[in-house]
């Protein structure tokens, strides 16, 4: 019976994005009453008290802000906050990346079923390295070219969701960590899924950088070219992180390594090390990952740990502490590293050969 409290949160998350509640509140000027919201969403008037109960949960969960009634929500005024702002569709803003598909992926039937199978997975004596609960249950790994054999719609949603999550806050990272990119003449950006949005932001801020985006072959086939200051400033190439990486002064991995085991991370980083020059010549790795550490208090730390559970249930990877990263960097042959800045749940790390 323990997993049941999860279900209201799953349904609440799906309701808010599938009904486009954040977009409706935005279109109503950023604040609205429940009757106005029912009208804007074209819902039957009889659903008003039920929507009020959902909104009460979403406010309590920190998805929306609210002024007014603590009862059934009929008199309350609902407002967007920074979290629900990311679920507003059609916004043109540097730091806005629409997160609908990331939410839909995390509450999909396949994710939930994998989570509910966790106890059975723990009891099984599986061969090393063990498959994730998702792979063990469904027969294919997530975020993989074979995922579409399970469900093509799930595969599309996951690809869109991971890409949106990858591109989130790239503008903030560039502003807050400009020294990381300043002075670079070439950069290989290894992402695996639709890295052109981040590449465009980097090249726009640092037009002297020649950027190569290393993607999976099927991503390159569907990637839309980006508008950048010069025609040859960015190029998309196919590749495999485990075999060859285009050489550059710096190689950047943004939210990639958390999908992989420690052993696979070492293999990937060894290939990255081959692609960059010595530290004296300006060679370095730029790694952006969630950094497990309670530096922003218990709420953010809980969010980081929940992301680690998401990795454990659905992939063979994990989120890591500074000590975890230090051990991986050392095994991959790097001499030193520095956490440049912590931005929200993520850390921006420079690693030196």
Residues marked as catalytic: 258
* Residue from 115, 160, 159 nearest 138 by CA: 115
Give yes or no for a contact between 166 and 193, defined as CB atoms under 8 angstroms apart.
Answer: yes
Closest of 111, 130, 109, 112 to residue 121, by C-alpha: 130
Beta strands 250-254 and 284-290, pairing class = parallel
Strands 284-290 and 346-352: antiparallel
* Contact present, 249 and 277 (Cβ < 8 Å): yes
- d(Cα 158, Cα 243) in Å, to the nearest integer? 25
321 vs 247: CA distance, rounded Å:
28
| Phi and psi at residue 182, to the nearest 5° | -60, 130
252's CB contacts (< 8 A; 6+ apart) are 187, 188, 189, 190, 285, 286, 287, 288
Between CA 46 and CA 330 the distance in angstroms is 62
Nearest to 286 by CA among 326, 250, 248: 250
Burial 286-312 (b: 16+ CB within 10 A, else e): bbbbbbbbeeeeeeeeeebeebbebbb
């Amino acid at each position: 019976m323990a997993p049941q409290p999860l279900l209201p949160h799953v349904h609440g998350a799906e309701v808010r994005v599938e009904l486009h509640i954040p977009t409706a509140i935005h279109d109503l000027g950023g604040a609205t009453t429940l009757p106005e919201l029912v009208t804007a969403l074209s819902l039957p008037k009889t659903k008003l008290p039920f929507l009020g109960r959902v909104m009460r949960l979403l406010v309590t969960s920190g998805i929306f802000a609210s002024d007014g009634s603590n009862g059934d929500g009929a008199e309350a005024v609902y407002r967007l906050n920074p979290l629900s702002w990311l679920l507003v569709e059609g916004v043109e803003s540097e730091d806005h990346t629409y997160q609908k598909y990331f939410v839909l992926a995390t509450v999909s039937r396949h994710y939930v079923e994998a989570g509910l199978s966790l106890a059975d997975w723990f009891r099984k004596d599986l061969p090393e390295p063990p498959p994730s609960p998702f792979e063990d249950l469904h027969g294919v790994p997530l975020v993989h070219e074979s995922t579409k054999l399970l469900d093509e719609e799930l595969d599309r949603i996951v690809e869109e969701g991971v890409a949106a999550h990858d591109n989130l806050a790239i503008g903030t990272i560039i502003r807050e960590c400009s020294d990381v990119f300043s002075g670079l003449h070439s950069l290989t950006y290894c992402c695996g899924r639709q890295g052109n949005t981040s590449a465009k932001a980097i090249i726009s801020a640092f037009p002297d950088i020649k950027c190569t985006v290393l993607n999976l072959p099927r991503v390159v086939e569907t990637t839309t070219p980006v508008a950048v200051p010069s025609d040859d400033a960015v190029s998309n190439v196919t590749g495999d992180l485990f075999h060859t990486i285009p050489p550059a002064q710096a190689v950047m991995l943004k939210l990639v390594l958390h999908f992989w085991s420690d052993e696979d991370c070492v293999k990937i980083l060894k290939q990255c090390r081959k692609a960059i020059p010595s530290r004296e010549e300006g060679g370095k790795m730029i790694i952006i990952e969630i950094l497990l550490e309670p530096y922003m208090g218990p709420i953010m730390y809980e969010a980081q740990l929940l992301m680690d559970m998401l990795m454990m249930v659905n992939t063979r990877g994990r989120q890591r502490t500074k000590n975890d990263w230090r051990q991986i960097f050392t095994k991959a042959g790097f001499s030193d590293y520095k956490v440049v800045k912590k931005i929200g749940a993520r850390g921006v790390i420079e690693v030196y050969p």
